[in-house]
Structure 1
């Protein structure tokens, strides 16, 4: 009996190997992490140990607004280190020299 007498058997083995590898990769792959800071607001609320777990809510425009939200909760307000303010002025175009 030769291998080419049963080509369907070889195909099934290859298919089984690929399915096993795909399943193993799905279990080994690490879940993706969400971005911790949002760069559109200057103040973040750092919330500790609630039902959803630890998180950062970067949705505040002032420290007072954040502190009012954090009052009575296990949370603290922090300055967003990745805040990127939008410039009100367009950059001045430079003259091109020919």
Structure 2
């Protein structure tokens, strides 16, 4: 018997993803983190790993003050 595959989303707005895996918790990709440290804090005690989002697309740079 095969299980249906779950869709994995790589949200391009966030640079870091948490890959959660295992029979008890399922298999998913949560791309909701702005830093590796933030992701690692969420992964503590879970069958999970943090990774760089390969589809991260940072927004355009904010214009700064013009130099004088």
Normalised to the residue count of structure 1, the TM-score between the two structures is 0.53
Which structure features the higher share of helix residues? 1
> Unpaired segments of 5 or more residues in structure 1?
1-30, 91-98
What is the rounded CA distance, in whole Å, between the counterparts of 1:47 and 1:35 in structure 2? 11
Residues 62 and 85 of structure 1: CA distance in aligned 2, closer, same or farther (over 3 Å): same
Q: Which residue does 1:59 correspond to in 2?
A: 32
Q: Which residue does 1:80 correspond to in 2?
A: 53
> Unpaired segments of 5 or more residues in structure 2?
64-68
Normalised to the residue count of structure 2, the TM-score between the two structures is 0.74
Match of 2:14 among 38, 41, 53: 41
The structure with the larger Rg is: 1
For these two proteins, the number of residue pairs brought into alignment is 59
* Superposition RMSD in Å: 2.2
More divergent stretch after superposition (33-42 vs 77-86) = 33-42
Which structure features the higher share of strand residues? 2
* Higher RCO, 1 vs 2 (CA within 8 Å, ≥6 residues apart): 2
Moved >3 Å (runs of 4+): none
Shift of 1:89: 4.7
